[in-house]
Amino acid sequence: MRKDYKFEKRKYIIGGFILVIALIYAVRLFDLQLNDERYKQSADSNAFLKKTVFPSRGLMYDRNGELVVYNQPAYDVMLIPRDVQPFDTADFCETIHITPAQLRKRFEDMRDKRLNPGYSSYTPQRLITQLSSQDYGRLQEKLYRFPGFFIQKRILRQYNYATAANVLGNLREVSSDDIDRDDYYARGDYTGDLGVERSYEPYLRGVKGVEILIRDARGRIQGRYENGAHDIAPISGRDLKLSLDIKLQQYAESLMAGKRGAVVAIEPKTGEILCLVSSPGYDPRLLVGRPRGENYKKLEQVEGLPLFDRALSGRYPPGSTFKPTQGLILLQEGIITTSTTYPCFHGYVNGGLRVGCHAHGSPLPLKPALQTSCNAYFCWGFKNMIDRRSKYGSPANALEVWKNHLVSMGYGYPLGVDLPHENRGFLPNSKFYSKYYGEGHWSANTIISVSIGQGEILATPLQIANLAATIANRGWFITPHAVKEIQDTVMPDGLLERRRPTIDEKWYHEVAEGMRMAVTGGTCRRAAIPGIDVAGKTGTAQNPHGKDHSAFMGFAPYDDPKIAVAVYVENGGFGAVFGVPIGSLVMEKYLTDSIAPSRKYMEDQMLNTPVFYASKTQRK
């Protein structure tokens, strides 16, 4: 048995091994339990129940101080699963008006770790959200019959007016993306969706408070930690004063009844948006509370896409409302002077190309051309600029100069309005055409239709309204914005600065005069308001979706503009049919707070004339 002794020493190695391991573990335990305070703190945070106290969300007033959006309490049914005992489900369902099947579904969803990753049978769970106050009252009385259940108060939005849903926006529950992006949010919180609610979310939401409660080892709440000395009070969200005139918004919406399109009115001196109508609209109250999801789905399917904000996101050919920009560029570039005349023989005829025009005097200079909305004039001007190789070298260079002027006027890029989902429109540059036609294979005549706001160019109603405001100011504008004041703080940077296009002010006076003439004796005669000098420009935009779009852009009073407006009615026909009357009525309503008796017939006409849409809504 000598072999046994040969390896006997190995017992020391095995014993030594286990001793070393035990030593390592002892050191580790020492480190965890005596050395490292971090774990103690973690344990503390586990044993404290930090209860969030929600701040009240900022209210919204219109520019005249009318309360538009306010808060309404709502009630969530909460429960701690392990405290729940068998209860009378029929009674419970009847009390809060849900079916047993719905209740079962709610329980399943609550326990589903995928839908509710924070589920634990020891912590409060949200079972049913947004109980009406009646249901809340009934349930509150019977709550003693349902141990483990309790009710948590939440805040819902409510609206005083069934209007401006696109500007005001609404609240939705935060998504997991929101939670990842911003650690302010926790599951079940609300955040602004669309409109001002979305873009001013950081101001509106306020700061959450914390109430620190102590739990004992049993998980029961023992009371407030040090009598609330460490609690943090919530800070209410800031109230907003909107630049909207809610009455004007309502009026403009009513004028757009039965029509698809947009009305945008801006106070030129401040850039404040007075009304921003997208038609068809919807009642913002539809997206409040429990029915939100269902209504949202319905609105997504309604003909005319009410959820699509045409005023900001709709891209339309601007048509003749674009002509003032052309006049300005041509004057600035020295292609024309105020007295340069171009001929019009019922249109522009050049190189086998013909752009039609209606009957008026010929030849004519700029102002009468704006007055009569002469296509030929602006085609000639555009041709003379784009094809002037002596000055620009090539049509491509000339077009870049042309494009840069337009960009400075707010076309082709988002203006930077303080609302989400603003579209940039579309402004073709030379690269675009070179790609399409081939480099050097295009000239003014190839692309002549952009000079009259047709062809490739697309603009949003907001951009058109901004042009009206710029002309009203004779050469500058302030980024349009929907919020006038934020409670106890200043407006975000850059929103109130004057922006100057690359066009001299003096040329704006010329163009403004041409627009004034269009109202006094041109295409915009119906825009005239008794006692107020109005300037305007019609637009009749051809489009691939059927009848022409009816557009108008104008401002008033002429010498001291207080309102600039753009109207766009899809498939409304001539600009004078819908665009001009609606635009002028909006201006009249805002300036005089009434409609002159002589114009009542026009108001009735607008209120009661729908446009029939055969095709699906265009979303371009």
Q: Which residues here bind other proteins, judged by CB under 8 A? A: 3-4, 6-8, 10-11, 13-15, 17-19, 21-22, 24-26, 28-30, 32-34, 36, 38-40, 42-44, 46-47, 82-83, 85, 117, 120, 122, 215-220
Question: Do 95 and 138 touch, CB atoms closer than 8 A?
Answer: yes
Largest CA distance in the chain: 131
Cβ proximity to other proteins, 18 vs 359, nearer residue = 18
Kindly list the distances between the CA atom of residue 89 and the CA atoms of 98, 103, 201, 574, 601, in Å, as whole numbers in the listed order.
10, 8, 39, 63, 61
Cβ proximity to other proteins, 106 vs 215, nearer residue = 215
Smallest gap from residue 35 Cβ to other proteins (A): 9
Respond yes or no on whether the N-terminal peptide bond of residue 557 is cis (omega within 30° of 0).
yes
Smallest gap from residue 148 Cβ to other proteins (A): 11
Smallest gap from residue 589 Cβ to other proteins (A): 58
Smallest gap from residue 121 Cβ to other proteins (A): 8
Smallest gap from residue 41 Cβ to other proteins (A): 9
Respond yes or no on whether the N-terminal peptide bond of residue 280 is cis (omega within 30° of 0).
yes
Cβ proximity to other proteins, 99 vs 222, nearer residue = 222
Torsion of CA 276, 281, 284, 287, to 10 degrees: -130
Smallest gap from residue 34 Cβ to other proteins (A): 6
Cβ proximity to other proteins, 215 vs 424, nearer residue = 215
The Cβ-side half-sphere exposure at 586, using a 13 Å CA radius, reads 36
Smallest gap from residue 419 Cβ to other proteins (A): 37
Q: Is 483 helix (H, G, I), strand (E, B) or coil?
A: strand
Smallest gap from residue 180 Cβ to other proteins (A): 13
Cβ proximity to other proteins, 10 vs 435, nearer residue = 10
Smallest gap from residue 83 Cβ to other proteins (A): 8
In angstroms, the CA 337 to CA 330 distance is: 8
DSSP 560: S
Smallest gap from residue 112 Cβ to other proteins (A): 16
Cβ proximity to other proteins, 6 vs 297, nearer residue = 6
Smallest gap from residue 212 Cβ to other proteins (A): 15
Cβ proximity to other proteins, 177 vs 559, nearer residue = 177
Smallest gap from residue 5 Cβ to other proteins (A): 10
Residues 6+ positions from 39 with CB-CB distance below 8 Å: 32
Cβ proximity to other proteins, 44 vs 226, nearer residue = 44
Residue 612 is encoded by which pair of tokens? Answer: 């029939």
DSSP letters along 359-377, please?
A: S--SSB-HHHHHHHT-HHH
Phi, psi (deg, nearest 5) at residue 323? -60, -40
Cβ proximity to other proteins, 145 vs 220, nearer residue = 220
DSSP letters along 406-471, please?
A: HHHTT-SS----SSS-----B---HHHHHHHH-TT---GGGGGGGGGT-TT-BB-HHHHHHHHHHH
Residues 6+ positions from 218 with CB-CB distance below 8 Å: none
Identity of residue 115: L
User: How many other β-carbons are positioned within 10 Å of the β-carbon of residue 562?
Assistant: 16
Cβ proximity to other proteins, 112 vs 294, nearer residue = 112
Question: Do 242 and 483 touch, CB atoms closer than 8 A?
Answer: yes
DSSP 145: G
Question: Do 356 and 346 touch, CB atoms closer than 8 A?
Answer: yes
Q: Is 266 helix (H, G, I), strand (E, B) or coil?
A: strand
Cβ proximity to other proteins, 120 vs 133, nearer residue = 120
Identity of residue 240: L
Smallest gap from residue 84 Cβ to other proteins (A): 11
Smallest gap from residue 311 Cβ to other proteins (A): 44
Cβ proximity to other proteins, 44 vs 439, nearer residue = 44
Cβ proximity to other proteins, 3 vs 435, nearer residue = 3
User: 224: burial class by Cβ within 10 Å (0-12, 13-18, 19+)?
Assistant: middle
CA geometry: angle at 472 spanning 466 and 477, to 5°?
A: 45
Cβ proximity to other proteins, 47 vs 90, nearer residue = 47
Question: Do 46 and 217 touch, CB atoms closer than 8 A?
Answer: no
In angstroms, the CA 309 to CA 288 distance is: 19
Identity of residue 513: E
Smallest gap from residue 12 Cβ to other proteins (A): 10
Across 304-336, b (16+ Cβ under 10 Å) vs e yields bbbbbbbbbbbbbbbbbbbbbbbbbbbbbbebb
Cβ proximity to other proteins, 46 vs 301, nearer residue = 46
Q: Which of 423, 416, 481, 459 is nearest to 551 (CA)?
A: 459
